[in-house]
Amino acid sequence: MRAGVAGGVLSTLAVGAAAGSANAAEPVTQTIELPTLTADLSATVAESAAATQQAAADYELLAERDAAAAKAAKQAKADLADAKKKAEAKKKAEAERKAAAETAASRASERTTLTASAPSSSTETDVPAPASGSVGTVISFLKAQVGDAYVMGATGPDSWDCSSLVQAAFKQVGVDLPRVSQDQSTVGTDVPLSDIQVGDILYWGGKGSAYHTGVYIGGGKYLDAANPGKGVVIQDLSGYPASGAVRVL
C-alpha cells in the first residue's frame, strides 16, 4: 500500500513538474519570435517610405509636365497670334499691290488712248533743230532716248515712264522736277497752248491730277515715253492735243 501511495505521489509530482516546465518554457518561445516580428515591421516601414518617396517623385514629375504643358500652350498661343498678324500684313500688302497694279493698268490704258489716234512716230529729221542753251540740252537729251522702252516706274537709262523721262531731261540743266505727272503739271508758269515754245512741259488730264507728261520740241511735235507698245517716241501734237502746258526754262 505504501508503495502504491508513493508511486501515486511520484506521478503527481512528475505531472506537476512537467506542467511547471511547460509554463516556464512559454516566455522563451515568445522571446525567440520577437526578432521575426521586428524584421517584418522594418520591412513594412521601409516599403512605406519607398512608396512615399515614389509618390513624391511622381507628383514632382506630374508638376513638371503640367508646367511644360502650360508653357507650350502659352507659346502656341503666341505663335498663333504672330502667324495671324503676319497673315493680315501679307493680305494688306497683297491688296495694296493689287490696287497699284490696277492703277498702273488704268494709266497705261489712258496713255494708249492718248496715242491711239496719233500719226506714226516721226524721225529726228522731221524735228526742228534743238534750241540753244539750256533748252537745247534738254531737247538733245530727250532725242537721245528715242527708241528706249516704256516701263512703268523705270527711271533709265534704257527704259522710262513718262514723268521719269521728263524729270531726267530737265535734271541735265539743274532743274529738279517732281517725280510724278500730277506734280509736274503744277510747276513753273502756266502757258496757253497757243503760245507754247520748245522745251515747255505738256500734260494731259487736269492740272494737279495729270496722268501723262511730255515735252514740246517744236514744229507741232512733242517727245514722250508713250506706252509699252511705243516706248519713247516723237509724235504729232495734233493727233491728241495736250490739256495744258507749263514753262520752267
The three state secondary structure string of 40-96 is HHHHHHHHHHHHHHHHHHHHHHHHHHHHHHHHHHHHHHHHHHHHHHHHHHHHHHHHH
The span from the CA of 7 to the CA of 93, in Å, is 128
C-alpha cell at 186: 503744277
- Which backbone phi and psi does 199 adopt, to 5 degrees? 95, -10
The domain segmentation of the chain, as residue ranges, is: 1-116, 120-247
Mean pLDDT, to the nearest integer, of 11-20? 46
What is the per-residue pLDDT across 63-103, written as a single tens digit (0 to 9) for each? 788 788 788 888 888 888 877 887 787 777 677 666 655 65
List, in sequence order, every beta strand (DSSP E) within 91-157.
149-150
Mean pLDDT, to the nearest integer, of 177-191? 97
Whether residue 123 has pLDDT greater than 80: no
CA separation, residue 241 to residues 48, 203, 215 (Å): 105, 9, 13
pLDDT at residue 25, as a whole number: 47
pLDDT at residue 109, as a whole number: 58
Decide: residue 246, CB within 10 A, 0-12 exposed, 13-18 middle, 19+ buried: buried
C-alpha cell at 179: 517725280
What is the per-residue pLDDT across 204-220, written as a single tens digit (0 to 9) for each? 999 999 999 999 999 99
Model confidence, pTM: 0.51
Second-level CATH architecture of 120-247:
Alpha-Beta Complex (3.90)
